[in-house]
Amino acid sequence: MDYRYLGNSGLKVTEITYGNWLTHGSSVENDVATACVRAALEAGITSFDTADAYANGKAEEVLGAALAGERRESLEVFTKVYWPVGPKGPNDTGLSRKHIMEGINGSLRRLNMDYVDLYQAHRFDYETPLEETITAFADVVRAGKALYIGVSEWTADQLRQGQALARAAGFSLVSNQPQYSALWRVIEAEVIPASVALGLSQVVWSPMAQGVLSGKYLPGKSAPAGSRATDEKGGKDAIGRFMDDDVLGKVQQLAPIADDLGLKMSQLAIAWVLANPNVATALVGASRPEQVAENVKASGVKLSADVLAQIDAVLGEVVERDPAKTVSPETRVV
């Protein structure tokens, strides 16, 4: 497992981060998640990402329990704040000072840890003055409850404004967590150039485009039973934008490229995002422990310029590139 620096910081993270994302928090889901965390550790992953809103705190509890007994200094643990948690009252959401302070304390309690390595603004909060948000994050860092601060799905202008305020407050933003894959490239035109200038890395989610780039969804065919595309509790909606026969047909044409490289299509998808030098790590989840062992093989894979050009030629116009697709809710969700 290779490591990369997170932004212009001295923190190294594994090229592949295990994303501990729970939806329902059922006992079966929790058991599988724990097994996947253990598989990630065995595969050499030391970076783990979660959020307080995942299954309303249950994901953090599961991750903390799964990592119990590990040497804390050898791990890089990320979590996030913004989306509604708890009873979801008017102050249980957003990036107000109140919610950030209560959020970090709740996350540390659920993780059973004294600090997190990276604390992230899960979206931009239009209802809170940015100065208030950044000042609260500065106080979280000074209290030793988070070592570094990042954001998620912020626009280039928001990154510039946030970094200016952060530096004035005595710290720096080190990362942005956007959706990014060979099919979803909306950060390339504006967010990545701004991030390079500001000293931020990308911690990318959905490098396999919700599993579409694994090649398991076929044009003109029903989605496999039990797959994300059949999950009526959120998965089906998330993957919907890619479930188009034209997109699925193009994805199938990537199979010969993967075969020539001795890779599975999922590994090719992860290696593709890691080919971008501004990407520090790719978030990869799993529904089975064996998937973790398979995905980590993408670490260290170097795709040539010719291969990247072949992928571009195959996908063509089905790639989404519109920078305006990087958005946060204009009002807080409750």
| Sign of the alpha-carbon dihedral angle for 236, 30, 121, 118 | negative
- The torsion of the CA quartet 140, 143, 147, 148, rounded to 10 degrees, works out to 30
Q: How many CB atoms lie within 10 A of CB 137?
A: 28
pLDDT at 261: 97
Q: Among 137-146, 160-169, 234-243, 318-327, whose mean pLDDT is lowest? A: 234-243
Cβ 37 vs Cβ 47: under 8 Å: no
Which residue out of 18, 54, 119, 180 is catalytically annotated?
A: 54
**Residue 312: other Cβ atoms inside 10 A:** 12
Domain contains 332? no
Does the pLDDT value for residue 333 go beyond 70?
Answer: yes
Q: At what angle do helices 27-42 and 58-67 cross, to 10 degrees?
A: 40
Q: Which of 55, 68, 47 is nearest to 111 (CA)?
A: 68
For residue 106, being part of any structural domain is answered with yes
* Residues 63 and 48 sit within 8 Å (Cβ to Cβ): yes
pLDDT for res 225: 62
| Mean of pLDDT over the chain | 94
Among residues 202, 96, 128, 116, the alpha carbon closest in space to that of 159 is found at: 202
What's the average model confidence in pLDDT over 102-112? 98
Task: For residue range 3-37, list pLDDT tens digits in order.
Answer: 999 999 999 999 999 999 988 888 889 999 999 99
In a domain, 240, yes or no: yes
- Summarize pLDDT for 168-200 with one digit per residue, the tens: 999 999 999 999 999 999 999 999 999 999 999
- Exposed / middle / buried, residue 135 (Cβ in 10 Å: 0-12, 13-18, 19+): middle
Measured CA to CA, the distance from residue 96 to residue 10 in angstroms comes to 29
Mean pLDDT value across residues 213-218: 92
Tokens linked to 271: 């290696």
Domain-embedded: residue 330: no
d(CA 243, CA 236): 9
Q: Does residue 334 fall inside a structural domain? A: no
Q: Is 217 a catalytic residue?
A: no
β-partners of residue 14 are 3
Tell me the per-residue pLDDT of 63-99, one tens digit each, with 9 for 90 and over: 999 999 999 999 999 999 999 999 999 999 999 999 9
Q: What is the CATH number of the domain that holds 242?
A: 3.20.20.100
If we measure between CA atoms, which residue out of 67, 46, 48 comes closest to residue 2?
A: 46
Q: Is 274 helix (H, G, I), strand (E, B) or coil?
A: helix
User: What pLDDT, on the 0 to 100 scale, is given for residue 228?
Assistant: 60
pLDDT for the residue 230? 52
- Is the pLDDT reported for residue 305 higher than 60? yes
With respect to residue 22, please indicate whether it lies within any of the assigned structural domains. Answer: yes
Confidence of residue 312 (pLDDT cuts 50, 70, 90): very high
Domain assignment present for residue 102? The answer is: yes
Average pLDDT over residues 46-58: 97
Residue 21 lies in a domain: yes
- What band does 334 get if pLDDT is binned at 50, 70 and 90? confident
Query: Residue 217 sits in which domain range?
Result: 3-325
The total of structural domains in the chain comes to 1
